[in-house]
Amino acid sequence: MRKLISAVFITALLCMSAPSVSEARGAVEVAQKYVGTNPTHRRTKWCAEFVNFIEKKVGRRGSGSAWAKSFLTYGKRVSQPQKDDIAVMNRGNPKGRNGHVGYFVGWAPNGKAIVISGNGKGSKVRIAEYPRSRIIEFRRPA
């Protein structure tokens, strides 16, 4: 039942049409079209390549790197994320160079961030919830 409520909530967030300040030319909407696929055709660690792919689709340069944490220098750091902002996360050792990156969709009722990203379970683009403690920072593309 909890997964059903969460799925309904995520669907409602994705359907919201009110534009955010960042607008990001619909980065989440563009990324959503790839859920369940792997448009990069890579087998491992391709979340940053997916975000770069979407950034190019919406007319921006992206970080130009295959490393998730490269997005820590991309755009502007924000403390109040909005739909289409980029969530940069730790993966494994918080002080290590490995990370994860995706697009912020909204907040789940349980306080977790809803993020659409590549390299999810099954090596596909997916929408998932992540604890706030895992997120290093949110970035607003310029």
The residue behind tokens 């290590």 is 96
How many angstroms separate the most distant Cα atoms in the chain?
A: 41
Report the pLDDT averaged over residues 55-80.
96
**What integer pLDDT is reported at residue 78 of this predicted model?**
98
Separation between Cα atoms, residue 64 and residue 80, nearest integer Å: 25
**What integer pLDDT is reported at residue 25 of this predicted model?**
56
Determine the length of the chain.
Answer: 142
Q: Could you tell me which residue, 26 or 103, shows the higher pLDDT?
A: 103
CATH of the domain at 88: 3.90.1720.10
The answer, as to whether pTM is greater than 0.75, is: yes
Domain count, the chain: 1
Report the pLDDT averaged over residues 34-54.
93
The neighbour count for residue 19, using CB atoms within 10 Å, is: 13
How many Cα atoms within 13 Å fall on the side-chain side of residue 28?
A: 27
Secondary structure class of 132 (helix, strand, coil): helix
The residue behind tokens 């909890």 is 2
The range of the structural domain enclosing residue 55 comes to 2-140
User: Is 98 a residue whose pLDDT tops 80?
Assistant: yes
**Element of type H or E holding 88:** strand 86-90
